[in-house]
Amino acid sequence: MTLKILQFGATGQLAREVIRAAPAARATVQALSRAEVDVTDRDAVLQAIATTDADLVLNATAFGDVDGAESRQAAAFAINGEAPGFMAEACERRGLPLIHISTDSVFDGEKDGPYVEADPTRPISAYGASKRAGEVAVLERAPRAAVVRTSWLFSALGRNFLQIMLGLREHPSVQVVADQHGRPTASADLARFLLATAPRWVQAGAGDEAWGLLHFANAGDTTRLGMARAIFQIAGGAAPELVPTTTAAFNAAAARPVNAELDCARLNAVFGVTPRPWREALEEVMAEMRETAA
C-alpha cells in the first residue's frame, strides 16, 4: 500500500529531501508551494486539507530567514505561528495526523546540557518566538499531531551552513562563530525518519505516545567552527583559514542560542530510533555532492 502525504512546502531543503526519498519509502508526496497555497490564508489551507485524499499532512514550510524575521515579524508570525494553527484546525476536522517541523531556536541556549522536550521554551529571537507560537497552535488544536524539533539542518539541496562554507572556499580567511554549539542534522536523515514513521502516525489514535513534542538531531555535539573545519577536511584541497569569532562579535540581527543541543532520548524510547553521528551524515552528503558534480 502506498502512503499519501500532503506536504506544505516544496522548495526548502527538507521538503525537497522528503520528495526525493518518498519513492523508496513507498510513499507519494503532493508538495504544495506557497504559490499554489498561501499558508497565511486560512480558507486556502482549510480547502487544501478538506479536499485531499492524503493519509497524513506534513508542514515543511517556514519563514526561515532568522535575521530577516527581526524586521519582518508580521510575516514570520503569519507563516511560522498562525499557518500551522490553520493546518491543525483542518486536520482535526478531517481526522488526519499532522506532523509539524520546528527548531532548537525555541530555547534560549542558557541550559548547561542538552535540551529535552519538557524543558521550558524561552526564544530569544523573533524567529524562535514565531516558531514557538506555531508549536503551541498545533498542539492545542490537533489531538493527533507531532511537533518535531530539529537543529542545524544541512543538505546538498538549498541554502544552508554547508553550502555557505563551500561557497567561501576560495577566500583566504573566513570568520566562524566558535561559541555556538549544537547537533548538525542531515535533512535527508530527518526526511527518511519522517517517511519511515508515517505509517505509525497514520494508525496511532489520540493519546498515543507518538504524538506531542519530539527531538530529532544527528548524534554528536560540535560548534559552528567545528562543523566548518569538518566540511573543509572532508572537501580536501585548498581551504581558507578559519578564524574563530564569538556570537556577540558577529553582530547578527537576530540572537542565537549558544547551546542548541537537542536530547533525542524520547526519539529512541518511543520509536526505537537513534540518529547516526553528524560527521558520518556530512561525509555522505558531501560524497553525493562530488558525484553529482563529476
Q: Annotated active-site positions, please?
A: 127
Let me know: does 124 contact 108? Beta carbons within 8 Å. yes
Name residues whose C-beta falls within 8 Å of residue 47's C-beta, 6 or more positions apart in sequence: none
Please give the Cα distance from 183 to 104 (Å, whole number).
10
Strands (E), the chain: 3-8, 27-32, 56-59, 98-103, 145-150, 153-154, 173-177, 181-182, 185-186, 212-215, 222-223, 241-245
- Residue 102, helix vs strand vs coil: strand
| Distance separating alpha carbons of residues 23 and 2, to the nearest angstrom | 9
The neighbouring-strand residues paired with 243 are 175
Determine how many CB atoms are found less than 10 A away from the CB of residue 243.
11
